[in-house]
Amino acid sequence: MKTISKTNNKLILMLTLIGLSACSSQYTVSTNLDKENFQTYFSHAQVKVFQDESEFPGRYKLIGLVEGEDCQAKSHHALPDKIAARTEARRQAAQQQANAIIFSGCALIDGDQANKQCIATLVCYGMSYQVEPLKKIN
């Protein structure tokens, strides 16, 4: 009786595996993950923050001005964050093909002067640069 039970268990397991493998080839996975989204999301990591131009390791060229902002949409939401605003500015610098940024400052805009959708907005301003790295001498 035990051998019949073991045989039945093996047979059921084999049929289940065959059934699953037959079905698995008919399924496709679709996600909202996109390579472009990852490149955009992590683009700010390619832009290094410097205090001033004297810190640049090589020759440089000013690309343009950038600004990033963070918004407090409702009174019970967190206050605008300087890190988020600076990250947005770095993301804009990356879109300009810059690899360096120098921030000139941040300003908190609240009340009537803020964006219509925001109770308060923090805006950080900077200049984006293309900096050549120092060449290594072998």
| pLDDT tens-digit series, residues 61-74 | 999 999 999 999 89
Q: Reply yes or no on whether the pLDDT at 42 is more than 70.
A: no
What region does 125 belong to: left with phi over 0, alpha with psi -120 to 50, or beta? beta
Residue 128: CB atoms within 10 A of its CB come to 24
Q: What phi, psi does 37 have (nearest 5°)?
A: -60, -40
Q: What is the pLDDT of residues 49-64, one digit of tens each?
A: 999 999 999 899 999 9
Cβ partners under 8 Å of residue 7, min gap 6: none
Question: How much of the chain is helix, strand and coil, in % rounded to 5?
Answer: 40, 30, 35
The residues spanned by each domain of the chain are: 46-131
In the prediction, which pLDDT does 45 show? 73
pTM, two decimals, is: 0.65
Highest mean pLDDT among 8-12, 28-32, 38-42: 8-12
Q: Which amino acid makes up residue 112? A: D
* CATH number at 46-131: 3.30.110.70
Mapping DSSP to helix (H, G, I), strand (E, B) and coil, where does residue 116 land? coil
Among 89, 106, 107, which residue's Cα sits nearest to residue 98?
89
